[in-house]
Amino acid sequence: MTTSTKRNIKKQQILDAAEKVFANYGFANTKMEKVASEAGISKGTVYFYYDTKENLYMALTYQAIQFLIDRFYQVLDEQRAYPGIEGSLALVHSYLQFCEKNPLYADLMLDYMTVNRTTRDGMDTNRLTAALQDSIYYRKIQDIQNIPISLITQEIKRGVEDGSILNKQQPELLYLLAWSSTIGFVKLNSAAGKRQSLLNVDVDVWRTQLLAQMRQMLLVTSFELV
Amino acid sequence: MTTSTKRNIKKQQILDAAEKVFANYGFANTKMEKVASEAGISKGTVYFYYDTKENLYMALTYQAIQFLIDRFYQVLDEQRAYPGIEGSLALVHSYLQFCEKNPLYADLMLDYMTVNRTTRDGMDTNRLTAALQDSIYYRKIQDIQNIPISLITQEIKRGVEDGSILNKQQPELLYLLAWSSTIGFVKLNSAAGKRQSLLNVDVDVWRTQLLAQMRQMLLVTSFELV
Amino acid sequence: MTTSTKRNIKKQQILDAAEKVFANYGFANTKMEKVASEAGISKGTVYFYYDTKENLYMALTYQAIQFLIDRFYQVLDEQRAYPGIEGSLALVHSYLQFCEKNPLYADLMLDYMTVNRTTRDGMDTNRLTAALQDSIYYRKIQDIQNIPISLITQEIKRGVEDGSILNKQQPELLYLLAWSSTIGFVKLNSAAGKRQSLLNVDVDVWRTQLLAQMRQMLLVTSFELV
Amino acid sequence: MTTSTKRNIKKQQILDAAEKVFANYGFANTKMEKVASEAGISKGTVYFYYDTKENLYMALTYQAIQFLIDRFYQVLDEQRAYPGIEGSLALVHSYLQFCEKNPLYADLMLDYMTVNRTTRDGMDTNRLTAALQDSIYYRKIQDIQNIPISLITQEIKRGVEDGSILNKQQPELLYLLAWSSTIGFVKLNSAAGKRQSLLNVDVDVWRTQLLAQMRQMLLVTSFELV
DNA sequence: CATGAATGAGGCTTCATTCAT
DNA sequence: GATGAATGAAGCCTCATTCAT
């Protein structure tokens, strides 16, 4: 095993540990010591691989987006032979699974958006935001951030073109409707606690309805306005 | 003006300031000093009215829920003459407005759920959670937490009974679908920044579609499964 | 009732309250708010009469010494007809009662001695000590501090002269032996708690033995050295 | 030198520094920053070894009692061949030396007794007391607190049995008389300041008399009541 | 490279004191 | 005079980060 490989394994171990800890405590309440102990190493070593807490967080964000992109390509590959609506729903489904696997993923992307925003707006950038933007991973994410969105909207367009999707709204709008539903679903479930069923509603039924609603949306020509 | 009234006014001023600061920085990055200066008073005075940061946060949560409940009652009063579907959608709409007015409100409730959860589960309660549960407002919230949900599900039931809502799913499920969509919508918009339109989609169009989708949902007998 | 009289009554109420609170919590852990509430008045009023916490403490010290002096004169008056040994022991006894009535009295005098000492030594005077020395009562105490000691040593001398006291040691030494026993007795009892008997020894027996030991001491010509 | 050894050395250095500072300023006026600088380290390091000020104080208390116990065993070992009265007086003497070496030791034990008392009584436990009781050392002290008393009373009993001690009072009572004298002696001397002689009485003479008085006490059959 | 002790800036909170009413 | 809200200096403690071994 090369030195580089060993380094990468260790980096991955840290990332895995960080994922657990950030997911349980959130960014602010996560202690580097806890990440280290979760990874079975010392604090110093964590700092050897990730020089700030913010950098570690951004590395995790980068990885999450990479995973999502990989998954999306895989789904697209599987769905190539089917109509666009199936590919689109499969993408949404895989995104939902992705977020359910670890609610942190949804937060990571939301946080990235927030950080990214303050770069543009002239907002009073606080220390935290500035530190996040300093991360090398911040730049790396900027290069790939649009890929998931791009893949999904392209698939919707394919569905519109092959006639399987009837809704003629902007693909981006359709994506936002799906994305926000997913985020809300994940947020509520995560806040309620994984074991707990919210309002006595079965989570599986809920998820199924959510997806059914999305299909419905793609099949409808237009919505009546409220 | 009585002494008690003056006290309440000051408490409200602090709460207003806290709302701004928590909304901008989140709980962890909010400094009591900042809340004080935002309220135009000194740090000590903030502590005179709210003895911990956590208590201030919970007071805000309590107020948010109270506001929501007040708004709900008002909406229900206005919708009394109309069929249940209109009342239900009006409630959802008012909830959406409520969260859009200040995205912090959505977070407050989500955070409350998380805190509340650790009370039930035997989770490894951290310092923050424990402090939040110590707040007098935590107890007060427990007494009213179920009212919004109850009001909305009752209105859905009225709609089912008067025949305006055709979907025969559990009202709770319908509520969750609406609730999660709303949270996702608010979260995404707040992350993107108020001035920024996400993916070049007009927010008003997005919101309209969201509500249309909800009406659709209530009018459909049942969804096809994916 | 004159204005001046009313003032004095109020000052005395505050002093009484302060006595209770200082006795229960010690100087550092006593809050002016607590003194005020104990006196049934507001914090501002306490400050109207005693402009610093240290001043209040020194006022209490002054009063304690005054009380002790008054008591000593009274005892001396009662004992005038009896031999000096009886007068001396009666003084010691009254001192013991004085300290037992409120253990704070012993502390007040000890603290005064400490504060007084740092005036002489070139010690690194801390803020607290400096503030105590600033009190107007500090000066007043300086004028009367030696009276109790003087009264007791004079009475011992009278006993030596009238032949009732056989111990020819310095009266000051005899006083110190009595004084330190008393302080130790009070300290231990106060630490143990008033209701609690220490090591299952009856406090009354202990006190009796203590006084017997002192009489013994005055009656003995000289001690064997250890 | 092992890691564990180094840690213990550092812990001891901090304890030594804390001893000086607490002795000079008392608990309330001691600043952790001062302890740190006295130890030649930073505040953070102090907290690395002792997580609260109260814990540090209790650690010191524990050490003081341990030292006393060690000293007592040593004295008992030396006195094994001599009659019980000599052993008893030697113990008292060593206790006196122990307290004179650092008056803080007497305070530590007194404070411990006070803290311990509020555990039993249903007293309105204040923050400080609660924090002291939370210390891990508080528990450790509870396990050894009775040893010094036990050793001394046993030695007195030995003296009674071998006929060297004639006083037939409870050994516990005799111990209390000795203990309180010692505490009073130390308190007065510490308040007066080490360099200062109180009332122009030579401290060595005073101490000698104190010990002579104790021997006297053990040799007397019974005291006349006052 | 790994460790874990050491650092110190930063933030929460307390409470003596002040001051407007 | 009395009140109690307002102030802010001061001190405890946390924890990201550094660094000697």
Q: What is the structure's pLDDT at A128?
A: 83
Q: Among C75, C78, C55, which residue's Cα sits nearest to residue C141?
A: C55
Looking at the structure, tell me whether residues C153 and C140 fall in a common domain. yes
* Residue D130 at interface with chain C, using a CB cutoff of 8 Å: no
Q: Name the protein residue, with chain letter, whose CA is nearest the C1' of E2.
A: A45
Q: Do C121 and D208 lie within an 8 Å CB cutoff?
A: no
Looking at the structure, tell me whether residues C45 and C63 fall in a common domain. no
Q: What is the structure's pLDDT at C127?
A: 81
* Residue D105 at interface with chain C, using a CB cutoff of 8 Å: no
Looking at the structure, tell me whether residues A72 and A182 fall in a common domain. yes
Q: Which has more confidence, A194 or B174?
A: B174
Q: From A116, which residue of chain B is nearest by alpha-carbon distance? A: B192
Name chain D contacts of C93, Cβ cutoff 8 Å.
Answer: 226
Q: Where are the beta strands (DSSP E) in B162-223?
A: none
Q: How far apart are CA A134 and CA C55, in angstroms?
A: 55
Looking at the structure, tell me whether residues B11 and B92 fall in a common domain. no
Query: CA of D194 to nearest chain C CA: how many angstroms apart?
Result: 10
Percent of chain A residues past pLDDT 90, beyond the cut: 73
Name chain D contacts of C200, Cβ cutoff 8 Å.
Answer: 172
Number of continuous H segments (helices) and E segments (strands) in chain D:
11, 0
Q: What is the structure's pLDDT at A168?
A: 87
- Using DSSP's 3-state secondary structure scheme, residue B121 falls into coil
Q: Do A182 and B184 lie within an 8 Å CB cutoff?
A: yes
Looking at the structure, tell me whether residues C43 and C72 fall in a common domain. no
Q: Give yes or no for a contact between A223 and B212, defined as CB atoms under 8 angstroms apart.
A: yes
Looking at the structure, tell me whether residues B97 and B203 fall in a common domain. yes
Distances (CA, A) of C181 to C186, D182, D226: 9, 8, 16
Looking at the structure, tell me whether residues D85 and D100 fall in a common domain. yes
Domain that holds residue C190: 53-219
Read off the tokens for B5: 């009234």
CB contact set of B46 (below 8 Å; sequence gap of 6+): B14, B32, B35, B36, B39, B56
Q: Do D173 and C26 lie within an 8 Å CB cutoff?
A: no
Q: Which amino acid is at C148?
A: P
CB contact set of C105 (below 8 Å; sequence gap of 6+): C64, C68, C98, C99
Q: What is the structure's pLDDT at C72?
A: 97
Segment D125-137, tens digit of pLDDT: 788 999 999 999 9
Q: What is the structure's pLDDT at B22?
A: 97
Option in A126, A182, A223 nearest B29 (CB): A126
* Residue C130 at interface with chain D, using a CB cutoff of 8 Å: no
Within a domain: D171: yes
The DSSP string of D64-105 is HHHHHHHHHHHHHHHHTTS-HHHHHHHHHHHHHHHHHH-HHH
Question: Chain A, 154-213: which have a CB under 8 Å from a chain B CB?
Answer: 169-170, 172-173, 175-177, 179-185, 187-188, 190-193, 195-196, 198-201, 205-206, 208-213
Q: Give yes or no for a contact between D37 and D55, defined as CB atoms under 8 angstroms apart.
A: no
Q: Name the protein residue, with chain letter, whose CA is nearest the C1' of F11.
A: D31
Strand E nucleotides with an atom less than 7 Å from a protein beta carbon: 1-9, 11-20
Segment D41-59, tens digit of pLDDT: 999 999 999 999 999 999 9
Q: Give yes or no for a contact between A196 and B116, defined as CB atoms under 8 angstroms apart.
A: no
Looking at the structure, tell me whether residues B61 and B168 fall in a common domain. yes
Query: CA of D167 to nearest chain C CA: how many angstroms apart?
Result: 12
Q: H-type helices in chain C, by residue range?
A: 3-29, 32-39, 43-49, 53-79, 84-101, 104-120, 127-134, 136-144, 147-161, 171-192, 203-219
Q: How far apart are CA B191 and CA B198, in angstroms?
A: 10
Domain count, chain C: 2
Q: Give yes or no for a contact between A39 and A1, defined as CB atoms under 8 angstroms apart.
A: no
Name chain C contacts of D191, Cβ cutoff 8 Å.
Answer: 110-111, 113-114, 117
Query: CA of A151 to nearest chain B CA: how many angstroms apart?
Result: 13
Which D residues 102-131 have CB within 7 Å of strand F?
131
* Residue A72 at interface with chain B, using a CB cutoff of 8 Å: no
Sign of CA dihedral D123, D128, D133, D137: negative
Other CB atoms closer than 10 Å to residue A158's CB: what's the count?
20
Q: What is the structure's pLDDT at A33?
A: 97
Q: What is the structure's pLDDT at C126?
A: 76
Within a domain: D226: no
* Residue B95 at interface with chain A, using a CB cutoff of 8 Å: no
Q: Do B191 and A28 lie within an 8 Å CB cutoff?
A: no
Sign of CA dihedral C32, C33, C37, C38: negative
N- to C-terminal Cα separation, chain C: 63
Within a domain: C74: yes
Option in D28, D170, D212 nearest C225 (CB): D212
Query: CA of B2 to nearest chain A CA: how many angstroms apart?
Result: 39
Instruction: Give the end of a domain, one of A10, A27, A50.
Output: A50
Looking at the structure, tell me whether residues C110 and C27 fall in a common domain. no
Q: How far apart are CA D151 and CA D23, in angstroms?
A: 27
Within a domain: D149: yes
CB contact set of A143 (below 8 Å; sequence gap of 6+): none
pLDDT-based confidence at residue D193 (cuts at 50, 70, 90): confident
Q: How far apart are CA C176 and CA D208, in angstroms?
A: 13
Query: CA of B122 to nearest chain A CA: how many angstroms apart?
Result: 12
Indicate the DSSP class of residue A198.
G
pLDDT-based confidence at residue B202 (cuts at 50, 70, 90): very high
Indicate the DSSP class of residue D124.
-
The DSSP string of B62-116 is HHHHHHHHHHHHHHHHHHTTS-HHHHHHHHHHHHHHHHHH-HHHHHHHHHHHHHH
Within a domain: B46: yes
Which nucleotide lies at the shortest CA–C1' distance from B48? Answer: F5
Within a domain: A225: no
Q: What is the structure's pLDDT at B118?
A: 76
Q: Rounded mean pLDDT of chain A? A: 90
Q: Give yes or no for a contact between C157 and C175, defined as CB atoms under 8 angstroms apart.
A: no
Say yes or no: Cβ of D6 under 7 A from any atom of strand F.
Answer: no
Which CATH number goes with the domain that contains A89? 1.10.357.10
CB contact set of C27 (below 8 Å; sequence gap of 6+): C53, C57, C111, D28
Q: How far apart are CA A154 and CA A170, in angstroms?
A: 11
* Residue pointed to by tokens 């564990």: D4
Whether the pLDDT of residue A13 is over 90: the answer is yes
pLDDT-based confidence at residue A177 (cuts at 50, 70, 90): very high
Q: Do C212 and D224 lie within an 8 Å CB cutoff?
A: yes
Q: Name the protein residue, with chain letter, whose CA is nearest the C1' of E18.
A: C44
Q: Do D111 and C172 lie within an 8 Å CB cutoff?
A: no
C81 φ/ψ angles, rounded to the nearest 5 degrees: -80, -15
- Using DSSP's 3-state secondary structure scheme, residue C130 falls into helix
Looking at the structure, tell me whether residues D37 and D60 fall in a common domain. no
Segment A94-122, tens digit of pLDDT: 999 999 999 899 999 999 998 888 766 65
pLDDT by residue for chain C (226 residues), tens only, comes to: 677 888 889 999 999 999 999 999 999 999 999 999 999 999 999 999 999 999 999 999 999 999 999 999 999 999 999 999 999 999 999 999 999 999 999 999 999 999 988 766 656 667 888 899 999 999 999 999 999 999 999 999 999 999 999 998 899 999 999 999 999 999 999 998 877 889 999 999 999 999 999 998 999 876 544 3
Q: Among A11, A8, A6, which residue's Cα sits nearest to residue A39?
A: A11
Name chain D contacts of C126, Cβ cutoff 8 Å.
Answer: 25, 29
Between the CA of C143 and the C1' of F21, what is the distance in angstroms?
Answer: 63
Within a domain: C225: no
Q: What is the structure's pLDDT at A50?
A: 96
Distances (CA, A) of C79 to C74, C76, C84, C97, C155: 9, 5, 8, 17, 10
Q: Do C176 and D206 lie within an 8 Å CB cutoff?
A: yes
Segment B118-172, tens digit of pLDDT: 777 666 678 899 999 999 999 999 999 999 999 999 999 999 999 999 998 889 9
Other CB atoms closer than 10 Å to residue C27's CB: what's the count?
20
Mean pLDDT confidence for D192-209: 89
Distances (CA, A) of A113 to A109, A184, D189: 6, 16, 69
CB contact set of B179 (below 8 Å; sequence gap of 6+): A184, A188, B95
Looking at the structure, tell me whether residues D11 and D76 fall in a common domain. no
Q: What is the 3-state secondary structure (H, E, C) of D4-64?
A: HHHHHHHHHHHHHHHHHHHHHHHHHHCCHHHHHHHHCCCHHHHHHHCCCHHHHHHHHHHHH
Percent of chain D residues past pLDDT 90, beyond the cut: 81
Within a domain: B96: yes
pLDDT-based confidence at residue A4 (cuts at 50, 70, 90): confident
Strand F nucleotides with an atom less than 7 Å from a protein beta carbon: 1-9, 11-20
Q: From C86, which residue of chain D is nearest by alpha-carbon distance? A: D226
CB contact set of D226 (below 8 Å; sequence gap of 6+): C89, C93, C208, C211, C212, C215
CB contact set of B98 (below 8 Å; sequence gap of 6+): B67, B68, B71, B105
Q: Do C121 and D196 lie within an 8 Å CB cutoff?
A: yes
Looking at the structure, tell me whether residues D77 and D92 fall in a common domain. yes
Option in A93, A111, A176 nearest B188 (CB): A176
Q: How far apart are CA A210 and CA B177, in angstroms?
A: 7
Segment A119-151, tens digit of pLDDT: 666 556 677 888 898 899 999 999 999 999 999
Q: What is the structure's pLDDT at A6?
A: 78
Segment A47-72, tens digit of pLDDT: 999 999 999 999 999 999 999 999 99
Q: What is the structure's pLDDT at A225?
A: 42
Q: Where is average pLDDT lowest: A154-158, A196-200, C193-197, D211-215? A: C193-197
* Residue pointed to by tokens 């696997």: A101
* Residue pointed to by tokens 């407002």: B137
Between the CA of D131 and the C1' of F14, what is the distance in angstroms?
Answer: 18
Q: What is the structure's pLDDT at C7?
A: 83
Which CATH number goes with the domain that contains A2? 1.10.10.60
